């Protein structure tokens, strides 16, 4: 059974959402780089790369099921955050929005009995649990440290390797 057109449309929208998340992370990384916080910049740069990989994973799936990739227009990303907390909060809000979208996609696929899409989305559902946990943890650490304690956050990232995936 081919993937229904409305699900392909939703998957293409998700590609755009993943690219938009990547751009947000690039903006956040640039903000931290401009603030001379290289570990926070590197962390968010890595997250940007991961979001692009997610977009590519969706694109590959769309192609694998015989669909056409239609990358939607992507809005400009915020760039003037004013504080580390605001930047980290945007990251968490972005992950929450991506999670809600993936859950909606799963609901669509399940309702359409599109087992291939449902199965593919399981990986993303599991991934988003980790993404939200890491974004929330880093936001809370930044909040505890405050703007004057961001060098402690830099040290924490260096020592704990926050967000790094364990070797398989």
Is pLDDT of 167 > 90?
no
What is the secondary structure of 33-68 as a DSSP string?
A: HHTT-HHHHHHHHHHHHHHHHHHHHHHHHHHHTT--
Contact (Cβ atoms closer than 8 angstroms) between residue 62 and residue 11: yes
Task: Give the percent of the chain with pLDDT over 90.
Answer: 91
**Reported pTM:** 0.92
Confidence of residue 116 (pLDDT cuts 50, 70, 90): very high
Domain 5-72+81-160 sits in CATH 1.10.132.20: no
Assign residue 141 a region (left: φ > 0; alpha: ψ between -120 and 50; beta: otherwise). alpha
Confidence of residue 160 (pLDDT cuts 50, 70, 90): confident
Total residues found in the chain within this entry: 168
pLDDT digit string (tens) for 39-94? 999 999 999 999 999 999 999 999 999 999 999 999 999 999 999 999 999 999 99
H helix runs in the chain, sequence order: 5-34, 38-64, 84-111, 115-145, 150-160
């Amino acid at each position: 059974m081919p993937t229904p057109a409305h699900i392909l449309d939703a998957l293409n929208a998700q590609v755009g959402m993943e690219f938009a998340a990547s751009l947000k992370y690039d903006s956040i990384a640039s903000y931290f780089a401009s603030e001379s916080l290289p570990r926070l910049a590197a962390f968010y740069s890595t997250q940007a790369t991961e979001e692009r990989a997610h977009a590519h994973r969706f694109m590959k799936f769309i192609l694998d099921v015989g669909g056409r990739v239609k990358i939607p227009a992507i809005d400009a990303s915020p760039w003037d955050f004013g504080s580390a907390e605001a930047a980290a909060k945007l990251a968490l809000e972005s992950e929450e929005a991506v999670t809600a979208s993936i859950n909606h996609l799963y609901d669509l696929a399940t309702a359409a009995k599109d087992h291939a899409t449902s199965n593919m989305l399981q990986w993303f559902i599991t991934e988003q649990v980790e993404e939200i946990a890491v974004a929330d943890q880093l936001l809370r650490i930044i909040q505890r440290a405050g703007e004057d304690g961001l060098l402690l956050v830099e040290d924490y990232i260096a020592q704990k390797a926050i967000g790094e995936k364990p070797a398989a």
